[in-house]
Amino acid sequence: MNEDQDPTEYGPRTNAFKTLREKIYFHRLPSYGNRIFYSLGFMALTCLLLLTITGITMGFMGQTWWLFSPWGIFVRSIHLWTVQAFIFILILHVLVGFSTSGFRAPRRMVWVFGAIIFALVLIQTEFGYGLRGDFASQYRAISGADFWNGTYLGYWLNPLNYTQTFIIHVAIIPLTIFFLFLAHYLIEHTYGIAKPYRKDISYKMVPADHRVLFIRGGALVTLIITLAFFFHSPYVPAIRIADVAKKDPNLVATTLLADFDHTSDTATYFDSIDPYTFDTRTVFVTTPYEQVASLDRHTPDAWTIFKQSSTTARQAYIAQAKQYAARDMLAQHTASSTNPVIAMIGTLIPMAKNGIYESLLDQENPSINYTYSLRFLKETGVLHAQASALNMDTAQWGMVKDETGSVWKLPPGSWWLAPLGLVNTAFNLLNNSYGDRDAALILGFILLVFILFPYIPYLNRLPELFPIAPLIQGERKSNKSIEEAVD
Ligand code: HEM
Ligand code: HEM
């Protein structure tokens, strides 16, 4: 309790909610504190609450609801439009703090906590897209996984694992943001809105106008809901292995052979780290094959035959399969082939066509985890081809867009990832084998400077070069003339 506070002022009739309100509100502000520039923090908080409400609703109702039911699509669109508003408002909030030097001591940690929140929000958007359950989720998960592998964090962060993405998006990051916000707000509330650093700006202290604050918050929510009603979050169906197998069975057969032969993308994966250390022959071919073969007691077990063959015979089987693959004829052979490699592939192709193969791959992991099926799709090249067709390949600044293929359509894509595209293009990172690692290093450095900005000598005086503070904090001419007239 505050030392100069009189405990007797709280009695049995005290209203707890009123007390709470008294504790958390700002009461007196410098005159400019009632302007919209200083409502941005509250508006950001409004977005955070709206994201939590819509996010929890979607989490409870499930993916089919948010993708296909009219109410689900509406709530998902509110979530997406809120993200758009949230990031836009945060950027303005940062610019106000920056240009008024609101980050100076003793508020330096207010900035630091805020900047960490900003970084977490950007990361959170990628995990959010990963949850959606459409083509964007698949493509972003694959690109995101490469990025995290490039940063060495891929052992812990795997966007291809849906369960992990879900827990990170709905629990870990929101809770971290919430606690950081508490720290941000408690310090700011204790010290009050910063006074002008420029001595030529005069101000007086006035009561905080909460009515106007709530009107601004209400207008923001109305705008978001209206936009979500008219412009829905996009949806392009996810690509399934069954679609590829029906359209191009030879492509699937060739991919299976490459996995069996350990020459596929996954088997030869290369980045700062390689978390795909599982055996591609076991995961993609023999385990699903054995599950299917165990149901059929009449055909001989091709995998056992292969294992019992001599090394020379094994090499000959693989060489023959490769010859068929080169002529695009591998998928024409069936489970009854005398070549056990071709027989295994011949068994799996019909399974791939009816969707069972993909389910078998996904079931090899104990939780909802698409690492195997998405890596397999990646190996076929169809994810990349579809992304290029939709204009969202990395080389086309794809992370900045979603399935509409444009940042200008409504709702816009992730325009906030433009710095990543800029770094990729400026440093020609897409043609560099260590591009992901280098992009992460450059962005990591920029982020560190952003977070520690108030503590960096000279740099933290940068805002003083721009005369923007008087526009935000200076007395309005009209007010001044009214006051002068009254005097
Ligand atoms: C969830 C995100 C955030 C929320 C809800 C939030 C909320 C607030 C609120 C309510 C205030 C006091 C009133 C106002 O200035 O609006 C404030 C002040 C401040 N915030 Fe944030 N903020 C967030 C993120 C950030 C970020 C990303 C930064 C900068 C990197 C930042 C820097 C500041 C600074 C420097 C002040 C003090 C301004 C002054 O006293 O003049 N905040 N914030
Ligand atoms: C900083 C806060 C948050 C950000 C920036 C954010 C961002 C996103 C984005 C960009 C999407 C994809 C939207 C789309 O499909 O069009 C998404 C989806 C989702 N988010 Fe969040 N989110 C946040 C907070 C939350 C919270 C607190 C929850 C739940 C507790 C949540 C649950 C979900 C769920 C279930 C989805 C999948 C449905 C969907 O695609 O919209 N989010 N999020």
Q: Are 250 and 229 found together in one domain? A: no
What pLDDT is attached to residue 480? 47
Substitution candidate for ligand 1 out of 180, 184, 205, 446 with most atoms within 8 A of CB:
184
Question: What is the rounded average pLDDT of the residues 134-154?
Answer: 95
Using CA positions, which residue lies closest to atom 40 of ligand 2?
132
Q: Are 214 and 85 found together in one domain? A: yes
Q: Are 380 and 262 found together in one domain? A: yes
Q: Are 357 and 310 found together in one domain? A: yes
CA distance between the termini of the chain: 42
Is residue 87 in contact with ligand 2, taking CB distance under 6 Å? no
Instruction: Specify the ligand 2 atom closest to the Cα of 126.
Output: 10
Is 20 within the bounds of a domain? no
Is residue 169 in contact with ligand 2, taking CB distance under 6 Å? yes
Q: b/e per residue, 47-71, with b = 16+ CB within 10 A?
A: bbebbeebbebbeeeebebbbeeee
Q: Are 341 and 275 found together in one domain? A: yes
Inter-residue contact 151 to 272 (CB < 8 Å): yes
Is residue 81 in contact with ligand 2, taking CB distance under 6 Å? no
**pLDDT tens-place string over residues 320-367:** 999 999 998 898 887 788 999 999 999 999 999 999 999 999 999 999
Q: Are 130 and 59 found together in one domain? A: yes
Is residue 33 in contact with ligand 2, taking CB distance under 6 Å? no
Distance, CA of 101 to CA of 104 (rounded, Å): 6
Q: Which of 369, 387, 405 corresponds to the end of one domain? A: 387
Q: Are 232 and 277 found together in one domain? A: no
**pLDDT tens-place string over residues 391-444:** 999 889 988 998 888 999 999 999 999 998 999 999 989 888 889 999 999 999
Does residue 484 surpass a pLDDT of 60? Answer: no
Distance 121 CA to ligand 2 centre (A): 10
Distance, CA of 399 to CA of 395 (rounded, Å): 9
Inter-residue contact 350 to 341 (CB < 8 Å): no
Over the chain, what is the mean pLDDT?
93
Beta carbons within 10 angstroms of residue 33's beta carbon = 20
- Domain with 295, as residue range(s), is 241-387
